[in-house]
Amino acid sequence: MTSINKHVTLIRNPGTAFQLDKFTNININRSAVEHRCTGYASRRSIKKQQQAAWLMKVISLIDLTTLSGDDTHARVRRLCRKAINPLNDNLKNGLSIGSLNLSTAAVCVYHDMLEFAKQTLEGSDVKLAAVSTGFPAGLSPFPLRLQEIQYSIDAGADEIDIVISRRHVLEGKWEALYDEVKAFREACGSAHLKTILATGELGNLSNIAKASQVCMMAGADFIKTSTGKEPTNATLPVSLVMVRMIRDYYEQTGYRIGFKPAGGVSDSKTALLYMVMMQEELGLRWLEPDLFRFGASSLLGDIERQLDHYSSGYYSASYRHPLA
């Protein structure tokens, strides 16, 4: 894969004043968006050595996630160890990549698992992310949502994935959404704020575009598609709309905002389509973990199978590549 200058300094988005005129007239043409998305696969064919390189890059962009009611300390420990060492030794030797020290970007868990996850990740470069603010519905009392953020930071979270109040979008209360996200950003302090739009519940692409702009104005470091709990999660059309808003914001302010598709990206082929989209729409600088993440769990297992096939010429059974 083409070398990326990841040492370009990323200046954190401070947000801007609320500006209704910047987004109120946005009207997204779904047919045009879908037509654009159909072209990503046909314009670029990534095969063999190049595909293996891109898939290893994908691994470095994954937020390895477990957000289940039956999470246990043992499951989180295995997940963290998988994040630190995502490929087995035989595969690393076959690919001659032992010196890369490849790991996923982060582990994402509920608050209750943070302290245990932090202990397991100690000494690694893997970030620790927590879902917060009444995840996934975001309907708990506002003061409690702010306290959740503080609790997670105190427990060691480097990044906070918050959920917005969808009703603000559906009712067109854009300034209320801005004030909410701005308060979350202030509560995060130095921890990075990833705002989850829950796009499957926002009604249409125009609402998604407007919500993206408002969250960036309020100081979001990332905008994220989904909680993974909605009936419809990350899709290419939704993602294209969001990254176009990121591009507009960068052109207007000079600040780079990250993007995280979550839910629905479970195989290598789909992940590569997202990589192509990010390169074509935003450029190579956005193919680094400080600006692009996949919220996923099963994706890693499929990538392992594809890399195993590249190394050996055979597809291995999925049970040979357990998530944790």
- Catalytic member of 92, 127, 260, 302: 260
82 is an active site residue: no
- The single residue listed with the structure tokens 């950003």 is 185
Q: How far apart are CA 188 and CA 161, in angstroms?
A: 10
Q: How far apart are CA 29 and CA 45, in angstroms?
A: 27
- Catalytic member of 57, 224, 290, 302: 224
From the CB of residue 41, how many other CB atoms can be counted at a distance below 10 Å?
A: 14
Q: How far apart are CA 145 and CA 297, in angstroms?
A: 26
Q: Degrees (nearest 5) of the Cα angle 180, 200, 160? A: 40
How is residue 266 written in tokens? 């479970």
Residue 128 DSSP one-character state = E
Neighbouring residues of 185: CB distance < 8 A, sequence distance ≥ 6: 15, 193, 218, 219, 220
260 is an active site residue: yes
Beta strands in the chain (DSSP E): 62-65, 106-109, 127-131, 159-163, 192-196, 222-224, 258-260, 294-296
Read off the amino acid at residue 306. Answer: Q
Contacts by 250-256 with C-beta closer than 8 Å and gap 24+?
Answer: 250/282, 252/22, 253/13, 253/16, 254/11, 255/11, 255/12, 255/13, 255/14, 256/10, 256/11, 256/13, 256/285, 256/286, 256/291
- Catalytic member of 22, 63, 92, 161: 161
153 SS3 class: helix
> Mind telling me the catalytic residues?
161, 224, 260
